[in-house]
Structure 1
Amino acid sequence: MNYQKVAKDVLKHVGGKENIKHVTHCATRLRFTLYEQSKVDNESIKQMKEVIDAVDKGGQYQVVIGNEVEDVYKNLMKEGNLEDNHNNDREDEVDNRNIFIKLLDVIASIFTPIIPVLAGSGMIKALIAIIDTFKLTNSDTAVHRILTILGDAGFYFLPVILAVSAAKKFNVNQYIAIVIGGVLLHPAFIQIVKEGKSSGEGVSFLGMPVGLVDYASTVIPIILAIWFMSFVEKQLNKFIPKAIKIVLVPMFTILIVAIVTLIVLGPIGNYLGIGLSYVFATLNVHVGWLVPTLVGLFMPLLVMTGMHYALISLGINELASKNFDPIAGPGMFVSNLAQAGAAFAIVFRTKNKELKTLASSTSFTAIFGITEPVLYGVNLRYKRPLVAAMIGGGVGGLYYGITGVGRFAQIPPGILSIPGYIGPDGFGVLIHAIIGIIIAFVVAFLISLTLGINEETLDVEEQHNASDNNQIADKDTFTGAHVNAPITGEVIPLNEVNDPTFAAELLGKGVAIKPTEGKVYAPADGTITALLDSHHAIGITSDEGVEILIHVGLDTVELNGQFYFPQVENGQEIKQGQLLLEFDSKQINDAGYETTTPVIITNTAEFDDVETIVNQTMTHGEKIINIS
């Protein structure tokens, strides 16, 4: 790699040295804080063969180089005559972070582990929709009813499923979190809600009103609940004596969190939805064309908050009173097709085979009106497709508003709902309905195709093969190797890591470990080839030629070495099991960072197979990766 040329090209494409407010680097990335993001030539950077990826993350522009980032960084400093601020304070960067983007990141990271549930359940629901359309079986048969249960379960129990991943995100007891999710779906509570609604008298707990909300398939209430639980559990652990913690901490956590959720946190989306319903009903009277535009534009966000249920009720009321719904159905229809179009474009932009499969399958289910898999699995996760979907839905909704499209029947808003737009006066509305969804799909597709995603990259294997520093010692004599766990803790798949570059395996295959102690040990015999000033990442080349990156925490380069205590130095030969680094997990977590530690084989492309052992707790020294 020509470090000087790479540095010169990167400097040019980020807008020159005048556009750089702050630049630093971690184990694999150049991290820029820029004055004007619009000056970045993102496509040119991504097309550089030395660049693995480029990521715009919460106000910070990151260029993923890989193991040779430090050499590129030094040349960048020299080429641009920049002040070396590798150890500068991170205050400027923090000020640039967008709270809304942070919120989307939290939601997306909570959904990442459950994407298989959404995708699998969504495909089953799409299968049922096809069966119903072609009347392959009656809805009252056991086959149909069981298939319906199989398709619905993953969505109905979302509060419980999300409780687990939210508990991991907020670092609280997963089993108590499951109980909180179970409270929201308990049959007795559902009955209380039904009785309260039918009587009109409501329900109270110790004089406080309980929200009469159906929490099945909801998202935000359980995330808010587990977020609140992280504060409650922490405070209880501080004040309750150790001898009785095992009983009283769970007891009071369940009591406090469940009650606050039922009275305050859970109903928030419902109350906002009622207000939103009133606003849309009023707009429909005075500026009717605007309503499907707004619904098409904001529907993905309404789904995330659960506020869309109020619109569904409004649409049903319109059908009951006027036999025509111009409010909910049309906007949802174009939004669903726009989401499908945005995700489908990713099939043509990504080189990642798993993402191609996910994007194609979830866009297929979205066409049939099942959007949770595509929303949480692709569009929200990568953000740019979400923007494309919202714009496409808004444009399609505007066309519906101008042409006066509405539905004449209550059918879930997917491609199979088209007959619901055939009115008593003929096919005029139907034709405009079809044109509208085509517009929504195509606009979203083209915008998403143009914007791409942060994970888009050149073929990773070609990138690694192009590097003259990533060759194992002797391919002909290499008979295999293994890597041991450098840290004691829970070993998880890389795709569960809250960082798209690691999760997409752009730097190589491997695992991640959630540490239970703050010590890092040598995973193999070898040599320390990289130990940054920030001490959060260690590069090792084993005696067999395996290049290992141990990245302790996510974005922890920003701590500038605080809470990290290295026990070795660059160039030092090490033995398997030797102590390399100590770190203070509590201090790192209190500073707002995750300690999840990716362990990556950065020269993955040089081997036939890298096999990982995950989803179990390991002690340092136990085998986690086999290489052949």
Structure 2
Amino acid sequence: MNHQELAQKILDQVGGINNITQLANCATRLRMNFKDESLVHLENIKKINGVIGATKKSGQYQIIIGTDVGNVCAAIKKLGQVDLTTTPEKKNKKIDQLMDIFASIFTPVIPAITAAGMIKAMLVVCVLLGMSKESQVYSIISFIADAGFYFLPIMLAFSSANKLGCNPYMAAMIGGVLLHPNFVAMVSAGEPIYLLGLPVKLVSYGSSVIPIILAVWLMTYVERFADKISPRPVKFFMKPVLTILIVAPIVLIILGPLGSYIGMGIATVTDFLNVHVSWLVPTLMGAFMPLLVLTGMHWSFLPILMTSYSTYGYEAIMGPGSLVSNICQGGASLSVALKTKNKELKQLASSAGITALMGITEPAMYGITLKLKKPLIAVMIGGGIGGFYAGLMGVVRYTSGTPGLLSLPIFIGENPMNIVHACIACIIGFIVTFVLTWMFGFEDPADSEIDKQENKNVVKKNPLSKKIAIYSPTSGKTVQLSKVNDETFAKEITGKGIAIDPFDNKIVAPFDGEVLTVFRTKHAIGLVSTEGVELLIHIGIDTVELEGKYFTAYVHDGDRIKKGDVLIEFDQNAIKAAGYECIIPIIVTNTEDYLDVIGIKEENVESGEQIITVF
């Protein structure tokens, strides 16, 4: 399947390009936010050929593609304009929201930091091979590398503005203010600086992280204020002028120094750990990195890493432990490949193991170790032991990059033994994990009853030849999907079905089965029948924006339901008064599993009457 086809298949399962509010990618994953999460079908995405896995972490959907993710992301962008004007839902848990912000701010700048660090590592090797530090070649390549770190505030300003919702070019201008040569010269001179009688702290902001993020955070509020008070005829120039003239002085006098002190505090704590308990953090990171990645918690360390790079030129918090952990994922997968008698698993584990050794662990983690469970335990033990050695030897990482054999140069620096100890830690972790995986064993598919069926679930797929009836969840007039004022439903992107213009204010179970998902905003519910038909009932158009107002849910995820049970009540008069249509699309989201899905002609129906036939 080519990139364009894969991109289209993904869009079909997320409600189309118009449902996307944020789209980015890291080394292996698409990262997306959506206007209406009820249109996103993770289980269907996981079945797409070319998708390794899909999950929701920290309020963000992540689709694991592998190293080809950049091409797939570009293909999605070619299929239409992503609507960035709608911000993602804001009522996530605070910790989820914070990690989502960190991920969105730091992920875009990682390639620049990685390039800068790798070039610095190349320079170290060149000096060892005889290049003079006094040569012009060395000087030019050196400042090329330094630019990636020194101008970090400008890059972070741009990505922060994109995430927090203000003008990225105005934000970049504030970053430029902090790095302006005249200001840098004034700071270097050491003479007191005053602005309107207020002291400006003598702080160097090159390579800094926290000050510019605080500055952009302030700008989001100031820009809105400037927009509000600027008269329409002069708003074009008055709004940006007011924004800069308010934000820049506050940053220079208050937020910049505050961010600098926060950064110094982080650096002090990091330095204490490195000096007094250097083994502790790499051990914990090596052992628990798989769990941090699974939960998305690893993003919370990004500000600490960036601060450490800008302060010391290296970090020892995550790099050593994550390097060993990635190598251990490869060791576990290769051990499984050698031990299994199942040809398909052998092939998958072999390729996943090699990929993990190179630094891309998703195929190994989601396809092998997490699925087989015992190998994951071996990975954590091996990662902890290898991380312990790396910590004892004081291994550090000199720049960002996906840790693996291909990126070992990021461990090359002033200490020539650093890379040696990093390699030894990898060997220790690999051997321990490989041996433990072999000793612990795992449930080999070749030894188990084929299809020990996760079908112990109550839900079973129905033979294609049998007709399945879906009954109306409410009373009203049926409407063909093509007439619904939302192209996601009208074009049957999420599946076939029918819509109902309701007379009633409640939704009842249309069959016996189970509740898959009650969406947080309660405007939609996902169900699955005992025959395996997956159904989405979506109350209204764009009603996700009501944030649950006017909706009351009586069931929860995983509840068993009987036909006629009350699921949700809603106030359609209030919904309409708020400016929203109250039509209810009823979609068979696993339409592709059946020959056809046919809704009845337009007519009035009572709750409990048949409205859809699935063949």
TM > 0.5 = no
TM-score, length of structure 1 as denominator length:
0.43
TM-score, length of structure 2 as denominator length:
0.44
Larger Rg, first or second structure (1 or 2): 2
